[in-house]
């Protein structure tokens, strides 16, 4: 694992709202952007930004359903992702 990639993961996991998104998706499995924004009490624009960062680092996957985009924790999370997420998602 390269240091730059690890640094990106820590930056993504170092934000409370992104952690809230991960916890919410762990509990509810799959949600639309609107449901996520409502669940973490954040605007749609800010929620999109956080979701984008989580997608870029491989924590999430998205699926388009007609006019909505639904997000879920990535099925193919690496062992290292799972190692870091396990204690975070239990809180």
Whether 90 shows a pLDDT value over 70: the answer reads no
Rounded Cα distance between 80 and 77, Å, is 8
Whether 39 shows a pLDDT value over 70: the answer reads yes
Residue 59 DSSP code: S
The domains of the chain, with CATH numbers, are: 3-89 (1.10.10.10)
pLDDT band of residue 58 (cuts 50, 70, 90) is confident
Helices and strands, counts by H and E, the chain: 5, 3
- Residues whose CB is less than 8 angstroms from the CB of residue 43 and which lie 6 or more positions away in sequence, other chains included: 37
pTM: 0.81
Burial class (CB in 10 A: 0-12, 13-18, 19+), 7: exposed
């Amino acid at each position: 694992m390269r240091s730059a990639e690890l640094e990106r993961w820590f930056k993504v996991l170092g934000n409370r709202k992104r952690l809230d998104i991960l916890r919410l998706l762990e509990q509810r499995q799959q949600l639309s952007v609107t449901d996520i924004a409502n669940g973490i009490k954040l605007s749609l624009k800010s929620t999109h930004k956080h979701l984008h960062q989580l997608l870029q680092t491989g924590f999430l996957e998205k699926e388009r359903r007609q006019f909505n985009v639904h997000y879920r924790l990535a099925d193919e999370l690496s062992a290292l992702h799972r190692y870091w997420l396990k204690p975070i998602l239990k809180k």
